[in-house]
Amino acid sequence: MFARLRSDIQCILERDPAARSTWEVITCYPGLHAVWLHRPAHWCWTHGFKWLGRFTSHIARWLTGIEIHPGAKIGDRVFFDHAMGTVVGETAEIGDGCTIYQGVTLGGTSLYKGAKRHPTLGKDVVVSAGAKVLGGFEVGDGAKIGSNAVVIKPVPPGATAVGIPARIIPSKTGESADVTEAHPKFQAYGLTQEDDPLSQAMRGLIDSASGQEHQIALLWQAIEKLSSPQKGDCVPSDAARSECFEAEKLNQLVGK
């Protein structure tokens, strides 16, 4: 038990640069208090003391601003960073090493009692501020949920989900999508150096349109050179012999 308590404190010291001492973490971190209060509440819930479990979680919510249903399962080294307004549903499962920020909802979309209504987070998942993960699906190990994303479908391991509804940025060779170092460190708020998939698609369309215009201009130039002087110029007067597609300007608009 004491080893688990020490790991709870150590994971906060490792992930939050604002944490200066063990005493500060123990006394001033509501995320830690929420996890510690959830454990007796979950014990009560799983041993038939349903009301006592709910009442304990209600007290924890009042003290910390973090609402965790006593039926939820939380692994080791889980860090609720700030986490005011966070809601964790009854059938939610949070794996070891996860980090959850303020305003997160691990909610359900089904009204059937006893069904798996809430998400399952794998190990080392980061759920950023304001994100909503809704449904009884899995978020793979090492995945990241961007701020204010609304996730309504499974997220593969190592991927990053961004947007409303969330779009998936795939992982790179089994690692997180925002990994660029040989030995990646913890990324606060699930920040990714990759682009939004929609932005990537727009850039691809811009590059394709620009390339097509360039090829068409080259064709008209070739036709102009091959035209016989006796037969006259066969190139139409409205043919685009020079490129005018503003690819660079459009790329700047989409953030390239």
| Model pLDDT for residues 13-42, shown as the tens digit of each residue | 888 888 889 999 999 999 999 999 999 999
Q: CB within 8 A of 190, min separation 6: which ones?
A: 126, 127, 128, 144, 145, 146, 147, 160, 178
The pLDDT, as a whole number, for residue 99 is: 92
Tell me how crowded residue 62 is: count the other CB atoms within 10 A of its CB: 9
The pLDDT, as a whole number, for residue 228 is: 59
Q: Say which amino acid occupies 203.
A: R
DSSP H helices in the chain: 2-15, 22-28, 30-46, 50-64, 197-226, 247-253
Peptide bond into 184 cis (omega under 30): no
Query: Can you tell me whether residue 62 is helix, strand or coil?
Result: helix
Percentage with pLDDT > 70 across the chain: 77
Report the range of poorest mean pLDDT among 3-12, 129-138, 212-221, 236-245: 236-245
* Most confidently modeled range among 95-109, 183-197, 212-226, 237-251: 95-109
Q: Say which amino acid occupies 169.
A: I
Q: Decide if pLDDT at 174 tops 60.
A: no
The pLDDT, as a whole number, for residue 175 is: 55
Q: Decide if pLDDT at 191 tops 60.
A: no
Q: Decide if pLDDT at 173 tops 80.
A: no
**Residue matched to tokens 């889980």:** 78
DSSP-derived letter for residue 38 is H
The pLDDT, as a whole number, for residue 180 is: 44
Q: Where does the pLDDT of residue 255 fall: very low under 50, low under 70, confident under 90, or very high at 90 and above?
A: low
Q: Decide if pLDDT at 88 tops 50.
A: yes
Pair of tokens at residue 83: 């986490």
Q: Say which amino acid occupies 217.
A: A
The pLDDT, as a whole number, for residue 218 is: 77
